[in-house]
Amino acid sequence: MSNPSIAIHLPDGSVREVPQGTTPLEIANSISPRLAAASVVARLTPLVTETPKTADGQSAEGEEADSEAAMYAAENAAGPRLVDLTTPLTADTKLELVKENDPDALKVVRHSASHVLATAVLELFPETKLGHGPATDSGFFYDFYREKPFTPEDLAAIEKKMAEVVARDEKFERAYEPREQALAEFEKDGDFMKTHFVTRFTEPGAQVSFYRNGKFVDFCRGPHVPSTGRVKAVKVTKVAGAYWLGDEKNPQLQRIYGTAFFSQKEMDAHFVRLEEAAKRDHRLLGKQLDLFSIQELAGPGLIFWHPKGAIIRKVMEDWMREECLRRGYQLVYTPHVARVALWQTSGHEGFYAANMFTPMELDDAMYRMKPMNCPFHILIYKNSPKSYRDLPARYAELGNVYRYERSGTMHGLLRVRGFTQDDAHIFCMPSQIEGEVEACIDFAEAVLKTFGFNEFKVELSTWDPKDRAHYVGTDENWQLATQSLENVLKAKGIPYKTIPGEAAFYGPKIDVKLVDVLGRLWQLSTVQFDFTLPERFELEYIGEDGARHQPVMVHRALFGSVERFFGVLIEHYAGAFPLWLAPVQVGLVPISEKHMAYAAKVEAELKAAGLRIETDGRNEKMNAKIRDFANQKTPYILVFGDKEEAANSVSVRTRGKGDQGSIPLADFIAKAKALIASQSTEL
Name the site residues for Zn ion (rule: CB under 5 A).
220, 374, 555
C-beta of 223: minimal distance to Zn ion in Å? Answer: 8
**Catalytic residue selected from 370, 425, 556, 653:** 425
Q: For residue 331, give the DSSP letter.
A: E
Q: Where are the beta strands (DSSP E) in 465-562?
A: 496-500, 509-515, 521-530, 541-542, 548-549, 552-561
Minimum distance, C-beta of residue 385 to Zn ion, in the bound complex (Å): 22
C-alpha 682/C-alpha 434 separation (Å) is 36
CB count within 10 Å of CB 497 equals 10
DSSP string across 111-135? HHHHHHHHHHHHHH-TTPEE----B
422-287-309 Cα angle (round to 5) = 35
Q: Which residues contact 224 (CB under 8 A, 6 or more apart)?
A: 41, 84, 108, 111, 112, 115, 172, 174, 211
Nearer to Zn ion, 70 or 647 (CB): 70
Q: Does residue 425 carry a catalytic annotation?
A: yes
Question: How near is the Cβ of 307 to Zn ion at its closest, in Å?
Answer: 31
Active-site entry in 43, 107, 110, 403: 403
Nearest CB to Zn ion, comparing residues 220 and 488:
220
Nearer to Zn ion, 348 or 653 (CB): 348
Give min distance, CB of 115 to Zn ion, in A: 5
Q: Least distance (Å) from Zn ion to the CB of residue 371?
A: 10
What is the nearest approach in angstroms of Zn ion to the Cβ of residue 222? 6
196's CB contacts (< 8 A; 6+ apart) are 245
DSSP-assigned letter for residue 544: T
336 is catalytic: no
Name the amino acid, one letter, at 537: F
Cβ 664 to Zn ion, closest distance in Å?
52
CB burial of 634-664 (b: ≥16 within 10 Å; e: otherwise) equals bbbbbbbbeebbeeebbbbbebeeeeeebbe
258: phi then psi, degrees, rounded to nearest 5: -160, 180
CB closer to Zn ion, 135 vs 650: 135
Q: Assess whether 421 carries a catalytic annotation.
A: yes
Catalytic residue among 254, 421, 528, 632: 421
**509 annotated active-site:** yes
Query: Among residues 110, 280, 282, 509, which one is catalytic?
Result: 509
Q: CA dist 41 to 24, 209, 612, Å?
A: 8, 17, 57
Q: Min. distance of Cβ 680 from Zn ion in angstroms?
A: 33
Q: Annotated catalytic, 348?
A: no
Give the H or E element holding residue 354.
none
Q: Which of 423, 464, 511, 516 is catalytic?
A: 423
Strand 636-640 to 586-590 pairing: parallel
Rank residues 113 and 410 by Cβ distance to Zn ion and give the closer one.
Answer: 113
Q: Count CB-CB contacts under 10 A for residue 605.
A: 16
Q: For residue 399, which of 474, 317, 281, 482 has the smallest C-alpha distance? A: 317
- Comparing CB distances to Zn ion, the nearer of 223 and 452 is 223
What three-state secondary structure class fits 290?
A: coil
- CA–CA gap between residue 389 and residue 504 (Å, rounded): 30
Given the complex with Zn ion, which of 49 and 128 has the nearer CB atom? 128
- We find the least distance from the C-beta atom of residue 659 to Zn ion, in angstroms, to be 51
Where do the DSSP E strands lie in 110-266?
Answer: 129-130, 140-145, 173-178, 207-213, 216-219, 233-243, 252-261
Distance of CA 51 to the CA centre of its chain: 22
Q: Work out the angle between the directed axes of helices 179-188 and 192-201 (0-180°, nearest 10).
A: 160
**H helix or E strand, kind and range, residue 32:** none
* Beta-strand relationship, 140-145 and 81-83: unpaired
DSSP H/E element including 653: strand 649-654
Nearest distance from C-beta of residue 627 to Zn ion, angstroms: 47
| Closer by beta carbon to Zn ion, 132 or else 282 | 132
If the CB atoms of residues 394 and 555 are measured against Zn ion, the closer one turns out to be 555
Nearer to Zn ion, 343 or 573 (CB): 343
Q: Which of 220, 374, 428, 440 is catalytic?
A: 374
So which residues are the catalytic ones?
Answer: 374, 403, 421, 423, 425, 509, 555
